[in-house]
Chain A
Amino acid sequence: MLQSTRETYGKTLVSLGEEQPEIVVLGGDLNKSTVVNLFAQKFPERFFDFGPAEQNIVSAAVGFASCGKIPFVSTFAVFGTGRAYDQLRVGVAQGGLNVKLVLTHAGITVGEDGMSAQAIEDIALISAMPGFTVVVPSDSVETEWAVREAAAIDGPVYIRLSRGATPVVHSGKEDTFRIGKAEVMRDGYDATIVACGVMVAIAHEAADMLSEKGIYVRILNMHTLAPIDTDAIVSAARDTGVIITAEEHFVRGGLNSIVAQELGAHYPVPLEMVALDSYGESGKPDQLIEKYGLGAGKIVEAVEKGITRKTG
Protein backbone atom coordinates (compact mmCIF):
# COMPACT_ATOMS: atom_id res chain seq x y z
CA MET A 1 0.00 0.00 0.00
CA LEU A 2 1.27 3.44 -0.94
CA GLN A 3 0.54 6.46 1.19
CA SER A 4 1.65 10.07 0.98
CA THR A 5 3.69 11.21 3.95
CA ARG A 6 2.94 14.86 3.27
CA GLU A 7 -0.79 14.19 3.32
CA THR A 8 -0.36 12.45 6.64
CA TYR A 9 1.64 15.45 7.84
CA GLY A 10 -1.13 17.85 6.83
CA LYS A 11 -3.79 15.80 8.63
CA THR A 12 -1.65 15.29 11.71
CA LEU A 13 -1.03 19.02 11.90
CA VAL A 14 -4.76 19.72 11.97
CA SER A 15 -5.22 17.24 14.77
CA LEU A 16 -2.28 18.71 16.70
CA GLY A 17 -3.64 22.18 16.09
CA GLU A 18 -6.78 21.25 17.99
CA GLU A 19 -4.78 19.88 20.89
CA GLN A 20 -2.14 22.60 21.06
CA PRO A 21 -3.36 26.18 20.57
CA GLU A 22 0.26 27.43 20.60
CA ILE A 23 0.90 25.84 17.20
CA VAL A 24 1.14 28.26 14.29
CA VAL A 25 2.00 27.31 10.72
CA LEU A 26 4.14 29.34 8.35
CA GLY A 27 4.10 28.62 4.63
CA GLY A 28 5.70 29.92 1.48
CA ASP A 29 3.20 29.75 -1.36
CA LEU A 30 3.48 25.97 -1.62
CA ASN A 31 0.77 25.21 0.86
CA LYS A 32 -1.23 22.81 -1.29
CA SER A 33 1.93 20.86 -2.05
CA THR A 34 3.04 20.69 1.58
CA VAL A 35 -0.60 20.05 2.55
CA VAL A 36 -0.56 22.67 5.30
CA ASN A 37 -3.55 24.15 3.46
CA LEU A 38 -5.61 21.78 5.62
CA PHE A 39 -4.38 23.61 8.73
CA ALA A 40 -4.98 26.96 7.00
CA GLN A 41 -8.60 26.03 6.33
CA LYS A 42 -9.19 24.88 9.88
CA PHE A 43 -7.21 27.57 11.72
CA PRO A 44 -6.92 30.56 9.38
CA GLU A 45 -5.91 32.93 12.19
CA ARG A 46 -2.94 30.71 13.08
CA PHE A 47 -1.68 30.30 9.53
CA PHE A 48 0.68 32.73 7.82
CA ASP A 49 1.68 32.57 4.18
CA PHE A 50 4.67 34.81 3.54
CA GLY A 51 5.05 33.98 -0.13
CA PRO A 52 8.25 32.44 -1.45
CA ALA A 53 10.40 34.43 1.00
CA GLU A 54 12.07 31.69 3.00
CA GLN A 55 14.45 33.94 4.91
CA ASN A 56 11.52 35.95 6.22
CA ILE A 57 9.55 32.80 7.02
CA VAL A 58 12.27 31.25 9.15
CA SER A 59 13.14 34.46 11.03
CA ALA A 60 9.45 35.16 11.65
CA ALA A 61 9.25 31.65 13.11
CA VAL A 62 12.06 32.69 15.46
CA GLY A 63 9.94 35.63 16.60
CA PHE A 64 6.87 33.42 17.12
CA ALA A 65 8.88 30.84 19.06
CA SER A 66 10.48 33.46 21.29
CA CYS A 67 6.96 34.50 22.31
CA GLY A 68 5.89 30.99 23.28
CA LYS A 69 4.27 29.85 20.03
CA ILE A 70 5.22 26.57 18.35
CA PRO A 71 5.83 27.47 14.72
CA PHE A 72 5.79 24.79 12.04
CA VAL A 73 7.59 25.98 8.91
CA SER A 74 6.69 24.11 5.74
CA THR A 75 7.92 24.50 2.21
CA PHE A 76 10.07 22.38 -0.11
CA ALA A 77 13.23 20.91 1.41
CA VAL A 78 15.48 22.65 -1.06
CA PHE A 79 14.17 26.12 -0.12
CA GLY A 80 13.61 25.62 3.60
CA THR A 81 17.20 24.55 4.21
CA GLY A 82 19.56 26.20 1.72
CA ARG A 83 17.63 29.38 1.07
CA ALA A 84 17.21 30.15 4.77
CA TYR A 85 20.35 28.57 6.17
CA ASP A 86 21.76 31.63 7.90
CA GLN A 87 18.39 32.35 9.46
CA LEU A 88 18.21 28.78 10.74
CA ARG A 89 21.76 28.99 12.04
CA VAL A 90 21.73 32.31 13.91
CA GLY A 91 18.06 32.50 14.78
CA VAL A 92 16.88 28.95 15.34
CA ALA A 93 19.95 26.85 16.21
CA GLN A 94 22.05 29.41 18.07
CA GLY A 95 18.94 30.73 19.77
CA GLY A 96 17.91 27.16 20.66
CA LEU A 97 14.37 28.01 19.67
CA ASN A 98 11.33 25.78 19.44
CA VAL A 99 10.93 25.89 15.66
CA LYS A 100 9.72 22.87 13.66
CA LEU A 101 10.93 22.63 10.10
CA VAL A 102 8.81 20.10 8.22
CA LEU A 103 9.93 20.15 4.61
CA THR A 104 8.56 18.12 1.75
CA HIS A 105 9.78 17.19 -1.74
CA ALA A 106 13.22 16.12 -0.52
CA GLY A 107 15.58 14.00 -2.58
CA ILE A 108 15.68 13.04 -6.25
CA THR A 109 12.23 11.44 -6.10
CA VAL A 110 10.88 14.97 -6.59
CA GLY A 111 11.20 13.81 -10.17
CA GLU A 112 10.30 15.98 -13.14
CA ASP A 113 11.20 19.33 -11.55
CA GLY A 114 14.83 18.31 -11.86
CA MET A 115 18.03 19.00 -9.99
CA SER A 116 17.30 22.55 -8.79
CA ALA A 117 14.28 21.24 -6.89
CA GLN A 118 15.90 18.04 -5.62
CA ALA A 119 17.39 18.56 -2.16
CA ILE A 120 20.24 16.09 -1.75
CA GLU A 121 22.31 18.16 0.71
CA ASP A 122 19.64 19.07 3.26
CA ILE A 123 20.52 16.45 5.87
CA ALA A 124 24.14 17.57 5.78
CA LEU A 125 23.12 21.21 6.16
CA ILE A 126 20.76 20.73 9.06
CA SER A 127 22.73 18.13 10.97
CA ALA A 128 25.77 20.42 10.77
CA MET A 129 24.03 22.70 13.29
CA PRO A 130 24.39 21.79 16.98
CA GLY A 131 21.09 21.19 18.75
CA PHE A 132 18.93 20.35 15.74
CA THR A 133 16.98 17.10 15.83
CA VAL A 134 16.79 15.53 12.34
CA VAL A 135 14.13 12.94 11.49
CA VAL A 136 13.58 11.19 8.15
CA PRO A 137 10.39 9.12 8.41
CA SER A 138 10.11 6.00 6.28
CA ASP A 139 6.37 6.02 5.72
CA SER A 140 3.11 7.71 6.63
CA VAL A 141 2.74 5.84 9.91
CA GLU A 142 6.14 6.97 11.09
CA THR A 143 5.45 10.48 9.81
CA GLU A 144 2.52 10.88 12.16
CA TRP A 145 4.59 9.62 15.10
CA ALA A 146 7.48 11.92 14.21
CA VAL A 147 5.32 15.02 13.79
CA ARG A 148 3.60 14.37 17.11
CA GLU A 149 6.90 13.87 18.92
CA ALA A 150 8.40 16.92 17.26
CA ALA A 151 5.56 19.04 18.64
CA ALA A 152 6.27 17.69 22.11
CA ILE A 153 10.02 18.40 22.05
CA ASP A 154 11.20 21.84 23.19
CA GLY A 155 13.80 22.66 20.56
CA PRO A 156 14.53 22.79 16.85
CA VAL A 157 13.44 19.79 14.78
CA TYR A 158 13.79 19.06 11.05
CA ILE A 159 11.48 16.45 9.53
CA ARG A 160 12.30 15.46 5.95
CA LEU A 161 9.41 14.27 3.77
CA SER A 162 9.09 13.22 0.16
CA ARG A 163 6.87 14.23 -2.70
CA GLY A 164 5.60 10.84 -3.78
CA ALA A 165 3.48 8.31 -1.96
CA THR A 166 5.67 5.71 -0.31
CA PRO A 167 5.07 2.07 0.67
CA VAL A 168 3.76 1.70 4.19
CA VAL A 169 6.27 -0.40 6.10
CA HIS A 170 4.69 -0.16 9.53
CA SER A 171 1.48 -1.80 10.69
CA GLY A 172 0.70 1.12 12.95
CA LYS A 173 0.56 -1.19 15.93
CA GLU A 174 4.24 -0.73 16.77
CA ASP A 175 4.52 1.36 19.88
CA THR A 176 8.27 1.60 19.95
CA PHE A 177 8.82 4.80 18.01
CA ARG A 178 11.01 7.24 19.84
CA ILE A 179 13.01 10.06 18.32
CA GLY A 180 16.67 9.12 18.63
CA LYS A 181 15.98 5.38 18.93
CA ALA A 182 16.52 3.35 15.77
CA GLU A 183 14.12 0.56 14.88
CA VAL A 184 15.19 -3.00 14.07
CA MET A 185 12.59 -3.95 11.44
CA ARG A 186 13.95 -7.33 10.44
CA ASP A 187 16.73 -9.35 11.94
CA GLY A 188 19.58 -11.26 10.35
CA TYR A 189 23.23 -11.88 11.08
CA ASP A 190 25.04 -11.68 7.72
CA ALA A 191 24.96 -7.89 7.40
CA THR A 192 22.99 -4.81 8.49
CA ILE A 193 21.31 -2.37 6.14
CA VAL A 194 20.96 0.99 7.85
CA ALA A 195 18.39 3.00 5.93
CA CYS A 196 16.21 6.07 6.30
CA GLY A 197 13.25 7.61 4.50
CA VAL A 198 12.14 6.13 1.20
CA MET A 199 15.15 3.81 1.23
CA VAL A 200 13.67 1.75 4.08
CA ALA A 201 11.05 0.21 1.80
CA ILE A 202 13.71 -0.40 -0.86
CA ALA A 203 15.89 -2.03 1.80
CA HIS A 204 13.05 -4.45 2.51
CA GLU A 205 12.92 -5.32 -1.20
CA ALA A 206 16.66 -5.91 -1.17
CA ALA A 207 16.41 -8.05 1.95
CA ASP A 208 13.80 -10.24 0.24
CA MET A 209 16.09 -10.67 -2.77
CA LEU A 210 19.01 -11.51 -0.50
CA SER A 211 17.08 -14.08 1.53
CA GLU A 212 16.37 -15.96 -1.69
CA LYS A 213 20.15 -16.25 -1.98
CA GLY A 214 20.45 -17.44 1.59
CA ILE A 215 21.75 -14.13 2.90
CA TYR A 216 19.93 -12.79 5.92
CA VAL A 217 20.24 -9.13 6.85
CA ARG A 218 19.19 -6.92 9.68
CA ILE A 219 17.31 -3.78 8.66
CA LEU A 220 17.89 -0.85 10.94
CA ASN A 221 15.47 1.99 10.30
CA MET A 222 17.54 5.02 11.25
CA HIS A 223 14.68 7.49 11.21
CA THR A 224 16.58 9.89 13.47
CA LEU A 225 19.93 11.15 12.21
CA ALA A 226 20.48 13.63 15.02
CA PRO A 227 20.81 12.68 17.77
CA ILE A 228 22.18 9.44 16.34
CA ASP A 229 21.49 6.09 18.01
CA THR A 230 25.09 5.00 18.63
CA ASP A 231 24.08 1.87 20.54
CA ALA A 232 22.02 0.52 17.64
CA ILE A 233 24.92 1.04 15.23
CA VAL A 234 27.45 -0.57 17.54
CA SER A 235 25.12 -3.54 18.17
CA ALA A 236 24.62 -4.01 14.45
CA ALA A 237 28.36 -3.86 13.81
CA ARG A 238 29.07 -6.34 16.57
CA ASP A 239 26.27 -8.75 15.63
CA THR A 240 26.61 -8.70 11.84
CA GLY A 241 30.19 -7.53 11.14
CA VAL A 242 29.35 -5.26 8.20
CA ILE A 243 27.11 -2.24 7.62
CA ILE A 244 25.52 -0.99 4.40
CA THR A 245 23.91 2.44 4.49
CA ALA A 246 21.09 3.39 2.11
CA GLU A 247 19.92 6.98 1.72
CA GLU A 248 18.38 9.34 -0.82
CA HIS A 249 21.00 12.00 -0.17
CA PHE A 250 24.46 13.01 -1.34
CA VAL A 251 27.11 10.60 -0.16
CA ARG A 252 28.80 13.17 2.04
CA GLY A 253 27.19 14.62 5.13
CA GLY A 254 24.23 12.27 5.31
CA LEU A 255 23.46 8.89 6.82
CA ASN A 256 26.66 7.24 5.58
CA SER A 257 28.89 9.97 6.98
CA ILE A 258 27.11 9.88 10.31
CA VAL A 259 27.28 6.08 10.60
CA ALA A 260 30.93 6.07 9.51
CA GLN A 261 31.76 8.51 12.26
CA GLU A 262 30.07 6.32 14.87
CA LEU A 263 31.74 3.14 13.61
CA GLY A 264 35.15 4.78 13.48
CA ALA A 265 34.80 6.00 17.03
CA HIS A 266 33.24 2.93 18.61
CA TYR A 267 33.36 -0.28 16.56
CA PRO A 268 35.12 -0.24 13.18
CA VAL A 269 33.74 -2.74 10.66
CA PRO A 270 33.53 -2.64 6.84
CA LEU A 271 31.03 -0.05 5.59
CA GLU A 272 29.40 0.04 2.15
CA MET A 273 27.08 2.70 0.86
CA VAL A 274 24.15 3.29 -1.42
CA ALA A 275 23.80 7.03 -1.87
CA LEU A 276 23.88 9.75 -4.50
CA ASP A 277 27.22 10.83 -5.91
CA SER A 278 25.91 13.61 -8.16
CA TYR A 279 22.95 15.91 -8.69
CA GLY A 280 19.91 14.38 -10.35
CA GLU A 281 17.88 15.37 -13.40
CA SER A 282 14.28 15.49 -14.59
CA GLY A 283 12.54 12.16 -14.87
CA LYS A 284 10.10 9.86 -13.17
CA PRO A 285 10.97 8.99 -9.56
CA ASP A 286 11.40 5.26 -10.23
CA GLN A 287 13.57 6.00 -13.26
CA LEU A 288 15.73 8.30 -11.15
CA ILE A 289 16.04 5.73 -8.36
CA GLU A 290 17.39 3.23 -10.90
CA LYS A 291 19.60 5.62 -12.89
CA TYR A 292 21.19 7.16 -9.81
CA GLY A 293 21.94 3.85 -8.17
CA LEU A 294 19.42 3.72 -5.34
CA GLY A 295 17.45 0.62 -6.42
CA ALA A 296 17.12 -2.62 -4.47
CA GLY A 297 19.60 -4.28 -6.86
CA LYS A 298 22.27 -1.76 -5.83
CA ILE A 299 21.67 -2.51 -2.17
CA VAL A 300 22.00 -6.24 -2.88
CA GLU A 301 25.32 -5.60 -4.65
CA ALA A 302 26.56 -3.47 -1.76
CA VAL A 303 25.58 -6.12 0.78
CA GLU A 304 27.33 -8.87 -1.15
CA LYS A 305 30.44 -6.75 -1.55
CA GLY A 306 30.41 -5.85 2.12
CA ILE A 307 30.13 -9.46 3.19
CA THR A 308 33.28 -10.35 1.22
CA ARG A 309 35.11 -7.71 3.27
CA LYS A 310 34.10 -9.19 6.60
CA THR A 311 36.92 -10.61 8.68
CA GLY A 312 36.67 -13.64 10.93
Chain B
Amino acid sequence: MNGQSGFSTKATPEHVDELGRHLRRLVLKTIAGSSSGHPGGSLSATEILIALYFRVMSHDPANPGWQDRDRFVLSKGHCTPILYSVLSECGYFPTEELVTFRTINSRLQGHAHTMVPGVDASTGSLGQGLSIGLGMALAGRLGNKDYKTYVLLGDGECDEGQIWEAAMAAAHYKVGNLVAVIDRNRIQNDRFTSEAMEIEPLEDKWRAFGWNVVQVDGHDVGDLCDALNSASLNQDTPLVVIANTVKGKGVTFMENNPDFHGRAPNEQELSDALAELSG
Protein backbone atom coordinates (compact mmCIF):
# COMPACT_ATOMS: atom_id res chain seq x y z
CA MET B 1 0.00 0.00 0.00
CA ASN B 2 1.34 3.38 0.93
CA GLY B 3 5.00 4.38 0.76
CA GLN B 4 7.27 2.44 3.05
CA SER B 5 9.03 5.51 4.39
CA GLY B 6 8.78 6.28 8.06
CA PHE B 7 7.32 9.61 7.02
CA SER B 8 4.31 8.02 5.43
CA THR B 9 2.34 7.36 8.56
CA LYS B 10 3.08 10.65 10.28
CA ALA B 11 0.61 13.39 9.60
CA THR B 12 1.84 16.18 11.81
CA PRO B 13 2.77 19.45 10.13
CA GLU B 14 6.22 19.28 11.73
CA HIS B 15 6.99 16.03 9.97
CA VAL B 16 5.72 17.37 6.67
CA ASP B 17 7.91 20.45 7.07
CA GLU B 18 10.98 18.36 7.81
CA LEU B 19 10.19 15.99 4.94
CA GLY B 20 9.92 19.01 2.65
CA ARG B 21 13.31 20.35 3.75
CA HIS B 22 14.84 16.88 3.48
CA LEU B 23 13.52 16.33 -0.04
CA ARG B 24 14.63 19.81 -1.13
CA ARG B 25 18.14 19.06 0.11
CA LEU B 26 18.05 15.82 -1.88
CA VAL B 27 16.88 17.73 -4.96
CA LEU B 28 19.80 20.13 -4.78
CA LYS B 29 22.37 17.42 -4.07
CA THR B 30 20.93 15.36 -6.93
CA ILE B 31 21.37 18.26 -9.33
CA ALA B 32 24.81 19.04 -7.94
CA GLY B 33 26.00 15.53 -8.78
CA SER B 34 26.13 16.35 -12.48
CA SER B 35 25.91 20.15 -12.20
CA SER B 36 22.88 19.78 -14.41
CA GLY B 37 19.13 19.76 -13.95
CA HIS B 38 16.07 21.84 -13.15
CA PRO B 39 15.85 23.04 -9.54
CA GLY B 40 13.03 25.63 -9.77
CA GLY B 41 10.16 23.35 -10.80
CA SER B 42 11.33 20.56 -8.52
CA LEU B 43 11.28 22.85 -5.50
CA SER B 44 7.85 24.21 -6.41
CA ALA B 45 6.41 20.71 -6.80
CA THR B 46 7.82 19.26 -3.58
CA GLU B 47 4.62 19.40 -1.50
CA ILE B 48 2.56 18.14 -4.44
CA LEU B 49 4.67 14.99 -4.58
CA ILE B 50 4.67 14.65 -0.80
CA ALA B 51 0.88 14.74 -0.83
CA LEU B 52 0.69 12.16 -3.64
CA TYR B 53 3.38 9.69 -2.62
CA PHE B 54 3.14 9.94 1.17
CA ARG B 55 -0.58 10.54 1.66
CA VAL B 56 -2.88 10.00 -1.29
CA MET B 57 -1.62 7.35 -3.69
CA SER B 58 -1.72 3.60 -3.19
CA HIS B 59 1.61 2.25 -4.30
CA ASP B 60 4.14 -0.34 -3.24
CA PRO B 61 7.86 0.39 -3.56
CA ALA B 62 8.57 -3.33 -3.16
CA ASN B 63 6.36 -4.06 -6.16
CA PRO B 64 6.60 -1.17 -8.65
CA GLY B 65 4.63 -3.14 -11.27
CA TRP B 66 1.66 -3.80 -8.97
CA GLN B 67 -1.27 -3.70 -11.37
CA ASP B 68 -3.72 -2.07 -8.99
CA ARG B 69 -1.43 0.79 -7.96
CA ASP B 70 -2.35 4.38 -8.53
CA ARG B 71 -0.42 5.79 -11.48
CA PHE B 72 1.64 8.95 -11.59
CA VAL B 73 2.78 10.70 -14.76
CA LEU B 74 5.37 13.46 -14.52
CA SER B 75 4.24 15.31 -17.60
CA LYS B 76 6.68 18.13 -16.85
CA GLY B 77 9.33 15.48 -17.32
CA HIS B 78 12.30 17.72 -16.55
CA CYS B 79 11.40 17.83 -12.84
CA THR B 80 12.98 14.45 -12.21
CA PRO B 81 15.10 15.70 -9.28
CA ILE B 82 12.04 15.84 -7.03
CA LEU B 83 10.45 12.70 -8.49
CA TYR B 84 13.63 10.64 -8.06
CA SER B 85 14.17 12.07 -4.57
CA VAL B 86 10.64 11.09 -3.56
CA LEU B 87 10.92 7.63 -5.15
CA SER B 88 14.20 6.95 -3.37
CA GLU B 89 12.74 8.22 -0.10
CA CYS B 90 9.84 5.80 -0.58
CA GLY B 91 12.31 2.98 -1.11
CA TYR B 92 12.10 2.35 -4.85
CA PHE B 93 15.89 2.57 -5.12
CA PRO B 94 18.77 3.56 -2.81
CA THR B 95 19.13 7.24 -1.99
CA GLU B 96 22.88 6.96 -2.72
CA GLU B 97 21.98 6.50 -6.39
CA LEU B 98 20.67 10.06 -6.64
CA VAL B 99 24.17 11.51 -7.17
CA THR B 100 24.42 9.52 -10.44
CA PHE B 101 21.58 11.63 -11.89
CA ARG B 102 22.32 12.73 -15.49
CA THR B 103 25.68 10.96 -15.51
CA ILE B 104 26.84 8.25 -17.90
CA ASN B 105 25.71 4.67 -17.15
CA SER B 106 23.08 5.82 -14.64
CA ARG B 107 19.46 4.82 -15.00
CA LEU B 108 18.49 8.19 -13.55
CA GLN B 109 17.96 9.88 -16.89
CA GLY B 110 17.68 13.65 -17.16
CA HIS B 111 14.03 13.34 -18.10
CA ALA B 112 11.69 10.72 -16.69
CA HIS B 113 12.06 7.23 -18.12
CA THR B 114 10.38 4.00 -17.16
CA MET B 115 13.75 2.28 -16.68
CA VAL B 116 13.70 3.86 -13.21
CA PRO B 117 11.71 1.76 -10.71
CA GLY B 118 8.53 3.61 -9.81
CA VAL B 119 8.42 5.79 -12.94
CA ASP B 120 5.16 4.96 -14.73
CA ALA B 121 5.70 6.92 -17.98
CA SER B 122 8.57 8.17 -20.11
CA THR B 123 8.25 11.90 -20.63
CA GLY B 124 10.42 14.90 -21.37
CA SER B 125 8.78 16.44 -24.38
CA LEU B 126 6.13 18.67 -22.87
CA GLY B 127 2.43 18.15 -23.39
CA GLN B 128 2.18 14.37 -23.62
CA GLY B 129 1.52 13.32 -20.04
CA LEU B 130 -2.17 14.12 -19.76
CA SER B 131 -2.90 11.98 -22.82
CA ILE B 132 -0.81 9.14 -21.37
CA GLY B 133 -2.73 9.48 -18.12
CA LEU B 134 -5.97 9.43 -20.06
CA GLY B 135 -4.99 6.10 -21.62
CA MET B 136 -4.04 4.72 -18.21
CA ALA B 137 -7.33 5.87 -16.70
CA LEU B 138 -9.40 4.39 -19.53
CA ALA B 139 -7.44 1.13 -19.31
CA GLY B 140 -8.20 1.00 -15.59
CA ARG B 141 -11.89 1.58 -16.13
CA LEU B 142 -11.97 -1.06 -18.85
CA GLY B 143 -10.31 -3.55 -16.52
CA ASN B 144 -12.67 -2.68 -13.63
CA LYS B 145 -9.71 -1.46 -11.60
CA ASP B 146 -10.28 1.19 -8.97
CA TYR B 147 -6.90 2.87 -9.27
CA LYS B 148 -6.57 6.54 -10.08
CA THR B 149 -4.13 8.25 -12.40
CA TYR B 150 -2.44 11.49 -11.35
CA VAL B 151 -0.69 13.71 -13.87
CA LEU B 152 1.56 16.61 -12.89
CA LEU B 153 1.54 19.41 -15.44
CA GLY B 154 3.59 22.57 -15.55
CA ASP B 155 1.80 25.86 -16.05
CA GLY B 156 4.07 26.75 -18.98
CA GLU B 157 3.38 23.28 -20.30
CA CYS B 158 -0.26 24.26 -20.76
CA ASP B 159 0.92 26.20 -23.84
CA GLU B 160 1.10 22.82 -25.58
CA GLY B 161 -1.99 22.14 -27.70
CA GLN B 162 -1.99 18.45 -26.86
CA ILE B 163 -2.92 19.24 -23.24
CA TRP B 164 -6.22 20.60 -24.52
CA GLU B 165 -6.79 17.65 -26.84
CA ALA B 166 -6.50 15.41 -23.80
CA ALA B 167 -8.61 17.71 -21.63
CA MET B 168 -11.44 17.61 -24.16
CA ALA B 169 -11.23 13.83 -24.54
CA ALA B 170 -11.13 13.19 -20.78
CA ALA B 171 -14.34 15.12 -20.24
CA HIS B 172 -15.96 13.48 -23.28
CA TYR B 173 -15.18 10.02 -21.94
CA LYS B 174 -16.18 11.05 -18.39
CA VAL B 175 -12.86 9.91 -17.01
CA GLY B 176 -13.46 10.52 -13.31
CA ASN B 177 -10.45 8.45 -12.27
CA LEU B 178 -8.06 10.97 -13.83
CA VAL B 179 -6.62 13.84 -11.79
CA ALA B 180 -4.39 16.56 -13.18
CA VAL B 181 -2.33 18.79 -10.94
CA ILE B 182 -0.91 22.00 -12.34
CA ASP B 183 2.21 23.32 -10.67
CA ARG B 184 1.22 26.96 -11.07
CA ASN B 185 4.59 28.51 -10.27
CA ARG B 186 4.17 31.29 -12.87
CA ILE B 187 7.59 30.87 -14.45
CA GLN B 188 8.51 28.87 -17.55
CA ASN B 189 11.84 28.26 -19.23
CA ASP B 190 12.69 31.75 -20.40
CA ARG B 191 10.54 34.00 -18.25
CA PHE B 192 7.28 34.56 -16.39
CA THR B 193 4.30 32.78 -17.92
CA SER B 194 2.41 36.07 -18.13
CA GLU B 195 5.17 37.39 -20.40
CA ALA B 196 5.84 34.25 -22.43
CA MET B 197 2.22 33.20 -22.99
CA GLU B 198 -0.67 34.35 -20.85
CA ILE B 199 -2.66 31.30 -19.77
CA GLU B 200 -5.16 33.04 -17.52
CA PRO B 201 -8.00 32.67 -16.90
CA LEU B 202 -6.74 29.15 -16.28
CA GLU B 203 -9.57 27.98 -14.05
CA ASP B 204 -12.18 29.16 -16.56
CA LYS B 205 -10.41 27.35 -19.37
CA TRP B 206 -10.47 24.02 -17.55
CA ARG B 207 -14.08 24.48 -16.51
CA ALA B 208 -14.98 25.26 -20.11
CA PHE B 209 -13.31 21.99 -21.10
CA GLY B 210 -15.61 20.13 -18.71
CA TRP B 211 -13.35 19.59 -15.71
CA ASN B 212 -13.89 20.13 -12.02
CA VAL B 213 -11.37 22.68 -10.81
CA VAL B 214 -9.97 23.25 -7.33
CA GLN B 215 -7.39 25.93 -6.53
CA VAL B 216 -5.14 25.38 -3.52
CA ASP B 217 -1.98 26.62 -1.88
CA GLY B 218 0.42 24.20 -3.52
CA HIS B 219 2.73 24.24 -0.51
CA ASP B 220 0.04 23.17 1.97
CA VAL B 221 0.07 19.39 2.06
CA GLY B 222 -3.21 19.20 3.96
CA ASP B 223 -5.04 21.36 1.45
CA LEU B 224 -3.48 19.43 -1.43
CA CYS B 225 -4.64 16.13 0.06
CA ASP B 226 -8.17 17.42 0.56
CA ALA B 227 -8.28 18.60 -3.05
CA LEU B 228 -6.75 15.41 -4.48
CA ASN B 229 -9.05 13.18 -2.46
CA SER B 230 -12.11 15.09 -3.63
CA ALA B 231 -11.72 13.29 -6.96
CA SER B 232 -13.51 10.24 -5.61
CA LEU B 233 -16.60 12.35 -4.93
CA ASN B 234 -17.46 12.59 -8.59
CA GLN B 235 -16.71 9.69 -10.87
CA ASP B 236 -17.98 11.25 -14.07
CA THR B 237 -15.81 14.34 -14.25
CA PRO B 238 -12.04 14.61 -14.29
CA LEU B 239 -10.48 16.87 -11.68
CA VAL B 240 -7.74 19.43 -12.06
CA VAL B 241 -6.04 20.85 -9.01
CA ILE B 242 -4.42 24.19 -9.70
CA ALA B 243 -1.66 24.24 -7.12
CA ASN B 244 -0.46 27.80 -6.63
CA THR B 245 3.22 27.53 -5.87
CA VAL B 246 6.44 29.50 -5.75
CA LYS B 247 9.14 28.51 -8.18
CA GLY B 248 12.33 27.64 -6.31
CA LYS B 249 10.38 27.44 -3.02
CA GLY B 250 12.48 27.07 0.09
CA VAL B 251 15.67 28.68 -1.15
CA THR B 252 15.40 32.44 -0.92
CA PHE B 253 17.64 33.33 -3.86
CA MET B 254 15.93 30.78 -6.10
CA GLU B 255 12.38 31.76 -5.22
CA ASN B 256 10.49 33.41 -8.04
CA ASN B 257 13.72 33.62 -10.02
CA PRO B 258 13.49 32.48 -13.66
CA ASP B 259 17.26 31.97 -13.70
CA PHE B 260 16.83 28.77 -11.69
CA HIS B 261 14.33 27.06 -13.98
CA GLY B 262 17.05 25.01 -15.59
CA ARG B 263 20.35 26.05 -14.02
CA ALA B 264 22.25 24.05 -11.44
CA PRO B 265 23.52 26.00 -8.43
CA ASN B 266 27.28 26.56 -8.24
CA GLU B 267 29.23 25.42 -5.18
CA GLN B 268 28.64 28.53 -3.12
CA GLU B 269 24.97 28.63 -4.06
CA LEU B 270 24.57 24.96 -3.13
CA SER B 271 26.21 25.53 0.19
CA ASP B 272 24.02 28.56 0.92
CA ALA B 273 20.89 26.69 -0.14
CA LEU B 274 21.64 23.64 1.99
CA ALA B 275 22.35 25.91 4.95
CA GLU B 276 18.98 27.59 4.55
CA LEU B 277 17.26 24.19 4.29
CA SER B 278 19.03 22.69 7.26
CA GLY B 279 16.79 24.27 9.89
Contacts from A to B (Cβ < 8 Å): 24, 45-46, 48, 50-51, 53, 55-56, 58-69, 71, 86-87, 89-91, 94-95
Contacts and interface: CB of A to CB of B under 8 A. Distances in A.
Given A55-B162, A56-B131, A56-B166, A90 B125 contact: yes
A65 to B, nearest CB: 8
Contact of A64 (B124, B125, B129, B139): B139
B114 A63 contact: no
Interface of B: 67, 71, 73, 113-114, 120-125, 127-129, 131-140, 142-143, 149, 161-162, 165-166, 168-169, 173
A60 B165 CA distance: 11
A182 to B, nearest CB: 32
A14 to B, nearest CB: 18
Contacts of A61: 135
A50 B124 CA distance: 23
A56 B169 contact: yes
Contact of A68 (B67, B122, B138, B173): B67
Contacts of A62: 121, 128, 131-132, 135
Given A90-B128, A94-B113, A59 B67 contact: no
A99 to B, nearest CB: 10
Contact of B142 (A24, A58, A87): A24
A48 to B, nearest CB: 7
A63 B125 contact: no
Nearest to B77: A90
Interface centre among A62, A69, A71, A89 (most CB of B within 10 A): A62
A67 B122 contact: no
Contacts of A58: 131
Contacts of B133: 63
B145 to A, nearest CB: 8
Contact of A90 (B67, B124, B139): B124
28 contacts: A24-B139, A24-B142, A51-B169, A55-B162, A56-B131, A59-B128, A59-B162, A59-B166, A60-B138, A60-B166, A62-B128, A63-B73, A63-B132, A63-B134, A63-B137, A63-B138, A64-B139, A66-B135, A67-B140, A67-B143, A68-B139, A68-B143, A69-B139, A71-B135, A87-B128, A90-B123, A90-B125, A95-B114
A55 B165 CA distance: 8
A153 to B, nearest CB: 19
Given A53-B162, A58-B131, A64-B139, 8 more contacts: A48-B173, A53-B165, A56-B162, A64-B138, A66-B136, A67-B135, A68-B139, A89-B125
A91 B123 CA distance: 7
A51 B135 CA distance: 15
B136 A63 contact: yes
